[in-house]
Chain A
Amino acid sequence: MIDFINSIVVLLNFVIIPGLSYGSQLALGALGVTFVYAVLRFANFAHGELMSFGAMITILFTWFFQSQNIGLGILPTALIALPFGILATIVLGLLSDKFVFKYYRKQKSVPVVLAMVSIGVMFVVNAIIRIIVGTETIKFSDGQKFIMKAKQFKAMTGLNEGLALKSSQVITILITILLLTFTFWFLQKTKTGKSMRAFSDNEDLALLSGINPDRVVFITWLIVGTLACVAGTLYGLDKSYKPIIYLNLVLPVFASAIVGGIGSPFGAVVGGYVIAFSEIMVTYAYKKFFKYLLPESLEPSSLVQLLSTDYKFAVSFTILVIVLLIRPSGIFRGKVL
């Protein structure tokens, strides 16, 4: 029995908790992509840079607060800086819409052109970020790093295996729950949310029934900016902030949105967790897990690893390709592109 609990703890420590926090970050990112896709109707390649930009502003404000000795004690200072980051990201989103995307929306350009345009925006934002903070890795998490260390857990329960709980992971999961609840409540219950859903479902009909398109676009950027900044900051808080990482992150984010069914908010969230868990589960070495479960004679000699960790990124695209082959509209029947 104790072996069984040990094996579960191993799984919790190395697969489930990291999966949940990484999945939350992907889910928030994918939700942003899906919002842009559903309302503005294009694949926004600049979303990764939007996340990066939000995280950068948050870092700048964190530094400012740290220099002023303002802090939250055991919680990271970044949490007070986050609202400023969100504000800046929303402003950036609105500016990019006003000066770039709006023109093509009025022209009724095809989605591919808008995707190309978003690549231009991606380059510009990328350059701005690099010019401001460079390309170095930045660690900005402060406060108490662990809620529970592996040693404490071992002493507390008397088990062989430790369970470490980083505060950044718990914060990630809590904020994600909060933000997702709010977003879904907003979409389902408020009048503005309903008008947004109507607009995304059938633009002409929505216009006919008197929905103001500019207002819908404005609200969309509010939500997208918030989601992007929070996702970017949480990712940076959990791992560390590095501008180039967000460019690589944009592909798993897209994969999550598409796997869940692009244009479907619920699908994006599920897709985020699907991608995160499969990335971690496929590349995790299960040797320790089986060591506790199986009798000694059957103990595995190899690592029991399906793919080496080098292929972490490749896993998400493989899932993307498989989903597209079997069910092109994604798990939750988003729009077929």
Chain B
Amino acid sequence: MRFDKYEWTAISIMVSLFIFVGFVQGWSVSLVILNMCIISAIMTMGVNISWGYAGVINFGVMGFLAMGGLAAVLVSYPPIKEAWQVGGSGLGISFILLILLVIAVFFITKLVEKKSHKYWFNGLVILFGLIIIRYFFLNATAKIEEIDPALAGFLGGANLPIIFSWVVGGFFAGGVAFVIGKVALGLRSDYLAIVTLGISEIVVSVLKHEEWLSRGVKNVIGLKRPVPYEINLQNSEWFINMVTWFNSSKLNNIIDPDTKQEVLNNLIIDGSGIFVKLNYALLFFIVMIVIYYFANKAQISPWGRMMRAIRDNEVSANAMGKDIVKQHLIIFVIGAAIVGVAGAMLVTLDGLFTPSGYRPLRFTFIIWIMVIVGGSGNNLGAIFGGFVIWFAWIEVAPLTTFLIEIFTSGMDPQNAIRLHLLDSVPYFRYLLMGMVLLLILRYRPKGIIPEKVRHS
């Protein structure tokens, strides 16, 4: 992982931006942005692995993120026993029936020889199977959703530490990606983009409406944290001592003990928030570095070389005996799994799971802008893109307000145009994102930190 001069410049600019925000808007704001930047960077690396290494387009980011979020709920939420009692058997039966149905379809496909017969038989079996399964399934889910609808109404989870969900989320997203890949990966790229976009919409709408599984639009709140709670920190001896020690010079200047105590209390409240965010940042940073390390290793390995060969010339790679379909599937699943990890981390950070919050503009297209802007095919570029774009996404609002204030300073403060512009400040970020994407694609199509050409 040796960086050249250009990359060092990019890294130091980013670091100084965060320090600048820390001084101007406060360290709490800076850390909030940093945490989301790290998560965005992980999503970006996931997309970059499939798109940058192998040229497999993945517009299903939103769906994989949602799967990761689901994992966070299913891993950490305490199980709801009554729900399992009333609905468990029904769900079990429908699950077994579903497996039987799949086996039946598999055998029909094998045994029946004529193609038109095959479609008819399969269609009939699937239709009848689904009608039977529906009966058991709807009964069970209706019972589950009836239990304490205001607080529960779903199956709950496994009551494990939420940090495990980061791995589970990867597996969930990878599993969904495997199914999607099996169906859609034969298609050419712009078709694949539309299909993955569509399937991610299906995934999110399932999570929105299957309340027995994910509580749907009623959202899951109060997920456990992997880091201490502010309120516990504020009451613990060691934390108070630490804050006192950090601010000793400031506190020593205050003579009046009452004022001193008040200042100390404020410092502790501020400090606990920052401490919690720092903990998150540390955890996320470790995950990012680990993924970055392995992604880089994979890129310079023979496997990564093969992926580049497939990306750059599919036909000749095929002629060299590489199984294109299989490799495409593998890399699609790996990329989606990393996005799933990021999805679980996102829900961990928020502490709540809101399926209706997953929108393609925010969770698919912005991530793609990050990849393109950062530099597809370069992991550092992907991370950088994630940081820069998320930073811009947040900081563009105060900046536009500032600019509008300057440009309209000659106008009357109640001028309609001025007020309208100030009202539409949040939408300028879309304008900026679009312009950035267009400019980068036009004048620097390989991204800010382009892929390094390796002749090995």
Contacts and interface: CB of A to CB of B under 8 A. Distances in A.
Contacts of B368: 116, 119
B438 A317 contact: no
A178 interface: no
Contact of B183 (A308, A311, A325): A325
Interface in B266-317: none
A100 B431 contact: no
A253 to B, nearest CB: 10
B13 interface: no
Nearest to A310: B209
Contact of B190 (A115, A122, A321, A328): A115
B361 interface: yes
A123 B430 contact: yes
Nearest to A312: B205
Interface string B192-204: 0111011101100
A314 B430 contact: no
B433 interface: yes
B202 A318 contact: yes
Contact of B184 (A127, A258, A311, A324): A324
A314 B205 contact: yes
Contact of B435 (A119, A124, A251): A124
A123 B437 contact: yes
Contact of A310 (B205, B360, B434): B205
Nearest to A257: B194
User: Shortest 7 CB-CB distances between A and B: which pairs?
Assistant: A123-B434, A317-B198, A127-B431, A124-B434, A127-B430, A130-B427, A120-B437
B187 interface: yes
Contacts of B445: 113
Given A43-B194, A112-B189, A127-B430, A313 B205 contact: yes
B114 interface: no
A137 to B, nearest CB: 16
Given A123-B365, A134-B423, A308-B209, A247 B441 contact: no
Contacts of B201: 251, 313-314, 317
Nearest to B438: A120
Interface residues of A, number: 44
Contact of A258 (B191, B199, B437): B191
A113 B423 CA distance: 34
A313 B189 CA distance: 23
A119 B209 CA distance: 29
A56 B194 CA distance: 26
B86 to A, nearest CB: 20
B437 A119 contact: yes
A117 B423 CA distance: 28
A123 B428 CA distance: 10
Given A117-B441, A134-B424, A126 B194 contact: no
A121 interface: yes
Contacts of A4: none
Interface string A92-113: 0000000010010000001111
B427 A254 contact: no
Given A100-B438, A112-B190, A119-B365, 17 more contacts: A42-B190, A43-B190, A112-B193, A117-B437, A123-B430, A123-B433, A127-B431, A130-B427, A131-B427, A131-B431, A247-B361, A251-B198, A258-B191, A314-B201, A318-B202, A321-B183, A321-B199
Contact of A111 (B184, B189, B442): B189
Interface string A304-329: 00001011011011101100110010
With most chain B CB atoms within 10 A of its CB, the pick from A113, A123, A126, A251 is A123
Contacts of A115: 190, 193
Contact of B194 (A119, A125, A258): A258
A113 B189 CA distance: 10
A128 interface: yes
A57 interface: no
A42 B441 CA distance: 16
A127 B186 CA distance: 35
A255 B190 contact: no
28 contacts: A43-B194, A103-B442, A112-B57, A112-B190, A112-B193, A115-B190, A116-B372, A116-B437, A117-B441, A122-B434, A124-B434, A125-B434, A127-B429, A127-B431, A127-B434, A128-B431, A130-B424, A131-B421, A134-B424, A251-B194, A311-B205, A316-B198, A317-B199, A320-B194, A324-B184, A324-B187, A325-B183, A328-B186
A337 interface: yes
Interface in A228-275: 247, 251, 254-255, 258
B188 A321 contact: no
Nearest to A311: B205
Contacts of A328: 186-187
Given A43-B190, A113-B441, A123-B433, A247 B202 contact: no
A330 to B, nearest CB: 11
Interface of B: 57, 183-184, 186-191, 193-195, 197-199, 201-202, 205-206, 208-209, 360-361, 365, 368-369, 372, 421, 423-424, 427-435, 437-438, 441-442, 445
Given A317-B202, A324-B184, A325-B183, A121 B190 contact: no
A103 B191 CA distance: 23
B55 to A, nearest CB: 8
A172 to B, nearest CB: 25
A131 B201 CA distance: 27
Identify the interface centre among B197, B198, B430, B445: most chain A CB within 10 Å of its CB.
B198
A111 B188 CA distance: 10
A65 to B, nearest CB: 21
Contacts of B441: 113, 116-117, 120
Contacts of B206: 314
Contacts of B428: 127, 131
B201 to A, nearest CB: 6
Contacts of A247: 360-361
Contacts of A311: 205, 209
Nearest to B119: A326
A321 B208 contact: no
Contacts of B194: 43, 251, 254-255, 258, 320
A325 B195 CA distance: 11
Contacts of A112: 57, 189-190, 193
A251 B199 CA distance: 11
Contacts of A100: 438
Given A123-B365, A130-B427, A251 B195 contact: no
Interface in A113-168: 113, 115-117, 119-128, 130-131, 134
Nearest to A316: B198
A205 B145 CA distance: 63
B432 to A, nearest CB: 8
Nearest to A122: B434
A119 B361 CA distance: 10
Contacts of A125: 434
A336 B186 CA distance: 12
B233 to A, nearest CB: 39
A311 B435 CA distance: 34
